[in-house]
Amino acid sequence: MKNRVKIIRVEKGITQGDLAEKISVSRQTIHAIESGKYIPSTLLALKLSKVLGKDVDELFALEKGD
């Protein structure tokens, strides 16, 4: 699964730490999501969507083979 979380977060001028605080996770979790090492739960994806002001499918997309 690929994601655009980092791109959108940077466009909005939000740090990893600030985003983590807003959705009640660690900064390391945000880093793992952005680097593709961790696929968030539905709940976490919805929280990211709300905070970043984007639909979930604008943040995450399936890749061939997913």
How confident is the model over 51-56, as a mean pLDDT?
98
Containing domain of residue 43, as a range? 2-61
CATH number at residue 11: 1.10.260.40
What was the pLDDT predicted at 66?
A: 87
Name the H helices within 2-66.
5-11, 16-23, 27-34, 42-52, 56-59
Q: What is the pTM of this model?
A: 0.93
What was the pLDDT predicted at 16?
A: 98
When divided into structural domains, the chain yields a total of 1
Tell me, yes or no, whether 66 lies in a domain. Answer: no
pLDDT in tens, 7-37: 999 999 999 999 999 999 999 999 999 999 9
What was the pLDDT predicted at 48?
A: 98
